[in-house]
Amino acid sequence: EHPRPWRVKDRATLIGDAAGYVTKCSGEGIYFAAKSGRMCAESIVTRTEMGTRMVDDRDLFDYINKFDAQYGPTYIVLDLLQKLFYTSDAARESFVDLCEERYVQEVTFDSYLYKTVQGNNPIGDIALLGKTLSSLVKNNTSKPAPMRELV
């Protein structure tokens, strides 16, 4: 999924799965549930001056803004990947092709481990873009391989 269009209403806010903090590609969400809960609690404590005043929706938006700043790009990238590679058999075949690349494996592992989009190698990113485009063209213009028989 992706973050819900609204996550704050009056003095209530959504966190975790209820807020849509589940990654589309992996279905992983426990980290984001725990992290959003902690970020929300920390914002409430800070914004209510250690509980000496009542929380309002502006206080809760503080947590939303911090969460979105830290993890928003991750959800955008995962949404784009899903829209690009999960739309047809040819696109899924291209995704499989890309998964053979060591750079893709490293970026995927690091992104999953650190919960933010990784890939700070511009040369690797450009090479990956080229491989992605060529794989998409190849798989969308060629006849699919015949199904293999199981023995």
Q: Please write the tens of the pLDDT for every residue from 84-135.
A: 998 899 999 999 999 999 999 998 888 888 888 877 789 988 998 999 999 9
DSSP conformation letters of 65-115: HHHHHHHHHHHHHHHHHHHHHSSSHHHHHHHHHHHTSHHHHHHHHHHHHHS
What totals of helices (H) and strands (E) does the chain contain, helices first?
5, 2
Do residues 119 and 107 touch, judged by C-beta distance below 8 A?
A: yes
The tens digit of pLDDT for each residue in 7-20 reads: 999 999 999 999 98
Q: 């992290």: which residue's tokens?
A: 35
Q: Retrieve residue 81's tokens.
A: 């990947």
Tell which wins on pLDDT, 27 or 123: 123
Q: 């023995």: which residue's tokens?
A: 151
Does 142 have pLDDT greater than 70?
Answer: yes
Residues contacting 55, CB < 8 A, separation 6+:
11, 44, 47, 48
